[in-house]
Structure 1
Amino acid sequence: MFAVIYRWRLRPGMEQQFTDGWHRVTAAIHTRCGSYGSRLHRADDGTWVAYARWPDEEARDRCSAPDPQGVAMMVEAIAERLPETRMRIVDDMLTEPGGAPGAAPGTGAD
């Protein structure tokens, strides 16, 4: 399996637009390109970080902007795009709390 870490600095006040665009793009990539999904985080240093998993690097590379409007929403909100990190998964000990897929712990869905 394959994973990518993406990082951005956002324009002040555009966090919700970015999040909405990221959600649209991630859903489209999952549906149309076969990704295993992604998680979006806000880091302590103010950057935004997404971790995405794919069956392999080729699947990720074949996938191109399946939601142009969502991409445009993200691009407008991004002040700086930091280099992505591509990784091959060597071992996987990540487990999810019980509940609905995509539900963050502590939201009542776990």
Structure 2
Amino acid sequence: MYVVLYSFVVKPNHEDQFLDAWKGLTSLICKHEDSLGSRLHKKEDLNFIAYAQWPSTTIFDNAGKHLPKEANTFKNAMKASCIKIEILEKLEVVQDLLKENKSE
């Protein structure tokens, strides 16, 4: 398994736009690009960290080729709502002891 950590610094008064765009784009990536999903965490006001899981480095590196055109709307909304978007880390998973969330 492969993990990518992202950082998002959101513009003031754009948090709802960012959250909607992140959720929409992430849902499409899961559906069309074989992602294992992502979690978004709020670090502090207007600063978010996302943790995305992928089956392999290869699948992550090739992601984006199968997304529908609708994904561009979400991508553009994310870019418009953020001051900064960056990849913090790309990590290979060596041990996995997370429990599956049964409540979702």
TM-score range, shorter chain: 0.7 to 0.9
Which ranges of structure 2 fall in alignment gaps of 5 or more residues? Answer: none
Select the structure that is richer in strand.
Answer: 2
| Structure ranking higher on relative contact order (CA contacts 8 Å, 6+ apart) | 2
- Aligned CA distance change for structure 1 residues 46 and 69 (closer, same or farther; 3 Å): closer
Displacement after TM superposition at 1:45 (Å): 6.7
What amino acid is aligned across from residue 15 of structure 2 in structure 1?
A: E
Question: Quick check: 1:87 aligned with 2:91?
Answer: yes
User: Are residues 39 and 70 of structure 1, via their aligned partners in 2, closer, same or farther at CA, if it must alter by over 3 Å?
Assistant: same
1:95-110 → structure 2 map (5 Å cutoff): 95-100=99-104
Corresponding residue to 1:73 among 51, 73, 77: 77
Q: Distance in 2 between matches of 1:45 and 1:13?
A: 11
> Which amino acid in the other structure matches residue 94 of structure 1?
L
Q: TM-score, normalised by structure 2?
A: 0.88
Equivalent residue number for residue 28 of structure 1:
28
TM-score w.r.t. structure 1 length?
A: 0.83
Residues 22, 35 of structure 1: CA spacing in aligned structure 2 closer, same or farther, 3 A cutoff?
A: same
Please tell me the root mean square deviation across aligned C-alpha atoms, in Å. Answer: 1.6
Runs (4+) off by over 6 Å:
none
Query: 1:81: Cα distance to partner?
Result: 2.1
What residue ranges of structure 1 are gaps of 5+ in the alignment? Answer: 101-110
CA shift, 1:34, in A, is 0.2
* Deviating more after overlay: 78-87 vs 6-15: 78-87
